[in-house]
Structure 1
Amino acid sequence: MFKLKEYNTNVKTEILAGITTFLTMVYIVIVNPIILSDAGVPFEQVFTATIIASIVGTLWMALGANYPIAIAPGMGMNAYFAYSVVGSHGGIDYQSAFAAVFIAGLIFVILSLTSFREKLIEAIPGNLKHGITAGIGLFIAFIGLRLTGIITDHPTNLVALGDLHSPSVVLALIGLAVTLVLMVLGVNGALFFGMIVTGIVAYFTGELSFKEGFVAMPHLPEGLLIANPIAAFGDVIQNSLYAVVFSFLLVTIFDTTGTMIGVAQQAGLMKGKTMPRARQALLADSFGTSIGAMFGTSPTSAYIESSAGVAAGGRTGLTGLTVAILFIIAAFFGPLVGAVSGISAITAPALIIVGSLMMGAVSEINWSELDEAFPAFLVILSMPLTSSIATGIALGFIAYPLMKVVKGKAKEVDPLLYLFAVLFLYQLAFLPH
């Protein structure tokens, strides 16, 4: 079913890769409820909805597209939901905001059933694809460094070296060293085993504890939030949430597409400019977004943390299936998952190392031609500096056709790039991002 021999992998490697991906992204089941609870949504509601959306999206990706890419509610869009839509959009309550997410998800499904998103992937120039891969790598490495305090905020230089004596930094450096040694020695599953060693150290040094116990039954305090699609349309129209729907749609399309390209390229699964089974893959986050909104969570997205599993050897949907099964189990171990995911030093080394591996894509960029190199450079630079994959993609999409036009190569640019350059200009200028 997963064609393991064709992709030169095996069951053990795929399961270890799935565990690695899960451990690097499981923080979302804690962080997402914390953010959305600021919008008034019950913590338990979002916790369960987050897991449901992740299971649905990841299972579709695994079984329908056979990719080692996990789906879960996206960071950034949850903050937009909580603080821009519910927080300041004319007194909109979270039920109406979820209606907007649901409608965006339905439109997403329709677009994914057409050849539109497939054509979009093929239309993206190779140098931009390499820039997206490298930019995501730099971004997740930066996240790993900041989560642990190795890098901290600085009033003048924006960032600076953190306190190397703090427990979090020391633990992260130990984990980084152990994981790097294992990788240099060629140990399969080095990223996963590095997390295990780091977790053990954290437990015996008192940084990791389980004060809230281990097990709790998942539940939905408010039941199904979106049960009637017609009523959801009515909410959007009544509250004039068209711009909100467009924002959710535009950002998630490019966030997910960019991440899929980056992870697929890292795994060696791209066939030239084409992503095989792209339509099936692109449906995963569409369904995840719609179903997640019904239960009470913000839009889903392909997760850049999937690259950690790819680096651990994941190449097929068996990796994703493992992630989905672990999410099912996690639903019954909320306190335990919360304790582990609360120690960023356990998972941060994997993000840093994977980031370094993905940065290798810069060697594929044609640096000798400025009209090709600069848009890619802009993507790489802006992703970590704006903390947004979508913003990096937007700036690259705007810069690329502009530079081609100036150089007299306007006909070489796919018409879709011109269309989205205009849409991105509008989004950056007038919509939240």
Structure 2
Amino acid sequence: MFKLEENKTTMKTEVIAGLTTFFTMVYIIVVNPSILSETGMPFEQVFSATIIAAVVGTLWMGLFANYPIAVAPGMGLNVYFAFSVVGSHGGITYHTAFSAVFVAGLIFLLLSLTKFRQLLIESIPDNLKFGISAGIGLFIAFIGFKNTGIITSHPENLVGLGDLHSPTVLLALFGLAVTLILMALKVNGALFIGMIITSIVAYFTGQLTFDKVFALPSLPEGLMIANPFTAIGDVFQYSLYAVVFSFLLVTIFDTTGTMIGVAEQAGFIKGKSMPRAKEALLSDSLATTVGAMFGTSPTTAYIESTSGVAAGGKTGLTSVTIALLFIIASFFGPLVGSLSGVAAITAPALIIVGSLMMGHIAKINWNEMDEAFPAFLVIICMPLTSSISTGIALGFISLPILKMFMGKWREIHPIVYIFAILFFIQLAFLPH
């Protein structure tokens, strides 16, 4: 099913890759509930919904697309849901807000069944693809540095060097050094082994503690969306068109951009196309729809999947491993929460993978301003705005403008012009 020999990999390598990606992204099952519970939702409801959505999307990705890419509720989209949608659009509740997520998921699903999203991937110019991949790399490396305190906020320069005597910073630097040495020695599964060694040190230095290990998953409020027609009616009744459009636009480009970045890193892109693109793109739209029914914000392909790719993951067996680990994690919420609560354990993987993805900068045509500057905007604006979709938007808007003034407008696919206009509307007039 997974064609291990054809892809020149082994079961052991794929399982290690799955473990690596899982422990790099597992923070979401703690962070997502903590954010969405700000709306008044029970923590246990969101915890279970987060895992259900991750399992549905990641299993589909593994079984039907055969890619080592994980899917789970996206960061940024959950913040938008909790603080910009609930209570801000006519005082709507989280129940009604999930109707908007569900409808966006349905539209997303219909688009994924067509060739639209695959056409989108093929229409994106190569230099933008390289910029997207490099920008995501810079973004996740920045997240790794910032979460551990190696980089901190600065009142004058925005960011600055953190306290190098801090236990968290020292642990992160230790984990980074150990993992880099293992990778330099070409040790298989270096990222995962580095996390294990860092976890052991964290435990013995008192930075990692376990208060409670086991807890049964639950859904205190049952299904959030039980009747699709009611959800569609809520969108019309509360005029949530802009909310649906925002969810749809951001999810399409967050996921498409991330998927391109991971696929480019893994070498899955063949020419201008991505094999089995429809199957892969269906995973997040299906997960978003199912996730909304149980109580979580839209899902996206995870940039942390690149850590599993770097560990050797090449097939859907990596994704199936991740999904199974999410199922197991649903019974060990407190334990997993403890591990993911120590940023220094997972940050080294993010930083190293970020450095690997930055290699795509070398492929950009820096000699042509109309090609180079849009890619530069993508790369620099992703970390500076903390948004993958904003970086992509600015690249999409600037590229057609430069091409038109240089008389090269025919080089751009019509769909790029359409989305340049939609992105301009979103940035100028809609919440983001």
Same fold (TM over 0.5): yes
Q: Does 1:200 align with 2:200?
A: yes
Residue 87 of structure 2 is matched in structure 1 by 87
- Please give the residue correspondences for 1:20-169 in structure 2 after superposition, counting only pairs within 5 Å: 20-169=20-169
Cα offset for 1:5? Answer: 1.4
Q: CA deviation at 1:8?
A: 1.2
- Show CA shifts across 1:272-327 (max 9, x none): 11010000000000000000000000000000000110011111100000000000
SS at match of 2:418: helix
Alpha-carbon shift at residue 261 of structure 1 (Å): 0.4
Partner of 2:243: 244
Partner Cα separation in structure 2 for residue 413 and residue 129 of structure 1: 14
Aligned counterparts of 1:31 and 1:417: Cα–Cα separation in 2: 34
* Partner amino acid, structure 2, of 1:272: G
CA distances 1:249-287 after superposition (whole Å, capped 9, x unpaired): 000000000000000010001101101000000000000
Q: Distance in 1 between matches of 2:88 and 2:161?
A: 35
Q: How much does 1:6 deviate?
A: 1.5
Separation (CA, whole Å) in 2 of partners of 1:431 and 1:194? 42
SS of 1:348's partner is helix
What's the % identity of the aligned pairs?
73
Q: Within 5 A, what are the aligned runs for 1:264-283? A: 264-283=263-282
The TM-score with structure 1 as length reference comes to 0.99
User: Aligned partners of 1:412 and 1:203: how far apart in 2?
Assistant: 56
Q: Using a 3 Å threshold, how does the CA distance of structure 1 residues 87 and 149 change in structure 2: closer, same or farther? A: farther
In the alignment, the residues of structure 2 paired with residue 46 and residue 268 of structure 1 have an alpha-carbon distance, to the nearest angstrom, of 35
Please state if 1:16 is matched with 2:20: no
1:186 matched residue in structure 2:
186
* C-alpha RMSD of the superposition: 0.5
Rounded to whole Å, the distance in 1 between the matches of 2:266 and 2:61 is 15
> Could you tell me how far apart the structure 2 residues matched to 1:30 and 1:247 are?
25
Shift of 1:87: 3.4
Write out per-residue CA displacement over residues 386-422 of structure 1, whole angstroms, 9 at most, x where no aligned residue: 0000000000000111111011000111000000000
Equivalent AA in structure 2 for residue 175 of structure 1: G
Deviation at 1:238, TM superposition (A): 0.6
Q: 1:254: which partner in 2?
A: 253
Could you say what secondary structure the match of 2:39 adopts?
coil
Q: C-alpha separation between the residues in 2 aligned to 1:68 and 1:366? A: 29
TM-score normalised by L of structure 2: 1.00
Q: What does 1:342-381 align with in structure 2 at a 5 Å threshold?
A: 342-381=341-380
Aligned residues: 432
In the alignment, the residues of structure 1 paired with residue 301 and residue 431 of structure 2 have an alpha-carbon distance, to the nearest angstrom, of 21
Give 1:88 shift: 1.5
Structure 1: segments with no counterpart, 5+ residues: none
Q: CA deviation at 1:110?
A: 0.2
Residue 4 of structure 1: CA displacement?
1.0
The secondary structure found in structure 1 opposite 2:88 is coil
Give the letter aligned to residue 340 of structure 2: S
* SS of aligned partner of 1:226: coil
AA of the residue aligned to 2:398: A
CA distance in 2, matches of 1:161, 1:432: 32
What is the letter of the counterpart of residue 208 of structure 1?
L
- Give 1:341's aligned amino acid: S
State the partner residue of 1:422: 421
* Aligned partner of residue 187 in structure 1, secondary structure: coil
Deviation at 1:7, TM superposition (A): 1.3
Q: Distance in 1 between matches of 2:395 and 2:195?
A: 35
